[in-house]
Chain A
């Protein structure tokens, strides 16, 4: 079963708007990562946030992590048609190993 659950399952916005995706997880984690997947390029790592961090930025991406609520959000600002993809959160469990659990993903469609 999946550890993380993304919300919403699907999101459709206009180019230039911001997109926010949320992820909830169940168990203690070492870090949380966001990945993007589209048919052209497969799964691509976007950003990683450690369990002791609360916010991180990378270009147009902003990730927050709230370990007390076991949740994270990914904000994509000024979206582009090329951002159309599925976005997954992935959690590295705090079990001493490196087992990584992915959520079911948010499907983002950016209309030009």
Chain B
């Protein structure tokens, strides 16, 4: 298993600003993912964070809006840029380490005013 922490756990931000969310894993993992969960809804994959190269984004998500870094096998960041109220969501980091089980972080609850 993997233990994942995210910072911050929650934040309230002003429209037009940016927020960087950190994801730290207690062991080296193969794959790291970023998801968005809008209020009362399911999870939508934003991108796969690739170590040493650019992230792979899903349809509807772009690097300018959601830049992602993954400098090593245990850490990744997701930035939500130029925020609007529609970006209010829970942002979740998840990892896999060879098998098909995903382990999720506790999430970052973002509110944009």
Does B bind A? no
